[in-house]
Amino acid sequence: MAHPYSSLPDSAFWSRSVTESAASQVLALSQEDCFTIAPSERLASAGSCFAQHLARLLPGCGFNYLVTETGPADRQFGVYPARFGNLYTVRQLLQLFERAYGLFEPTDRAWTSGDVLVDPFRPGVENPGFADLDALLADRGAHFAAVRRMFEQCDVFVFTMGLTEAWVSDIDGAVFPLAPGVRGVPPQPSGYRHRNFTVPEMVGDMQRFVTHLRLLNPGVKLVLSVSPVPMAATYERRGVLVSNGYTKAALRVVADMVVHGDERVAYFPSYEAIAGHQAAGRYYEPDRRHISAEGVREVVDLFTRSYLARGESAPPLAAERPPSQPSQNVWDDLWCEDDMLNAS
């Protein structure tokens, strides 16, 4: 007798997909309905530090990766399409858009680090820092112009969500990638508080961002993902492992709620590719946090197979490092502000 599950594909059943399929095929079965990206379409990406792998490797996989702000690599140019650093939370992404278009001007303009100034919204882009406020503001102005070009010119925007916890200003709600004092000290250090965003808040922020973006760029497609990299530290009064469970679960729910009912927004399972049962933990380094080069290649290969337009050929993904080098080196060229929490 037929029942509602009788006609479902193998990907709907754990025994037929996760149990019986090879690990590399499990997620491919569930990617049948995603849209495709043509090699001519301009792709831009942003997000947590794991998103830097996409920025670095997708141009060699047949994708037309958009870069709107160029300069020396040792000053964090080329890490993303524009020099905005890591955007760990949805609120950071929303405020980047609003600041770039003059919709929001935070009270905080610069933080102090010794004899130099640090951009509190991009603490890692200039090392050791800016000589004075004029230099910082000039760089920010050029940066915002590049951000506007990115949003207006991209055909596909990929955002990797990483965290729910952040530090915000009590004055205007501005959100920062690092707590005050980790990299730079604000003029009034007491005017900030920890914030752990809820699912409704993050869904609202993402929907607001999508609305903003489509007013400027009506045809843009979006791909949302969740970083498989666990959080470096939590400010909640509980263990980091428990906080990380909330973080990833909440972000996964946010992605699902935003994707639902919008055919131009897709979910890419980078989190499941690395942290899923089929991976059996083999893609994590001994620190149980960073992802190995093999895991990075698995995610980028999956993205290419899932989204590159059918009938288009993509060059094989080159190895990120010689086999003789430790796989941890895959992270050497990444700038991850949250790693500074361990150093401090």
Q: Per residue, what are the HEC states of 54-97?
A: HHHHHHHHCCEECCCCCCCHHHCCCCCCCCCCCCCCHHHHHHHH
pLDDT in tens, 308-342: 985 554 444 443 333 333 334 444 455 566 665 66
Residue 25 lies in a domain: no
Residue 326 lies in a domain: yes
Place of tokens 């808040």: 201
* Per-residue pLDDT band at 229 (split at 50, 70, 90): very high
> What stretches of 112-238 show up as alpha helix (H) in DSSP?
133-153, 199-216
What is the count of structural domains for the chain?
A: 1
Cα(31)–Cα(158) distance, integer angstroms: 16
pLDDT of 242 reads 97
pLDDT in tens, 54-109: 888 999 999 999 999 998 887 878 889 999 999 999 999 999 999 999 999 999 99
Residue 205 lies in a domain: yes
Global pTM value = 0.89
pLDDT in tens, 131-168: 999 999 999 999 999 999 999 999 999 999 999 999 99
Residue 29 lies in a domain: no
Instruction: Give residue 266's domain range.
Output: 39-343
pLDDT of 331 reads 41
Residue 309 lies in a domain: yes
Omega before 128 cis (within 30°)? yes
Residue 1 lies in a domain: no
Give the chain's mean pLDDT: 88
Residue 34 lies in a domain: no
Residue 53 lies in a domain: yes
pLDDT in tens, 267-298: 999 999 999 999 999 999 999 999 999 999 99
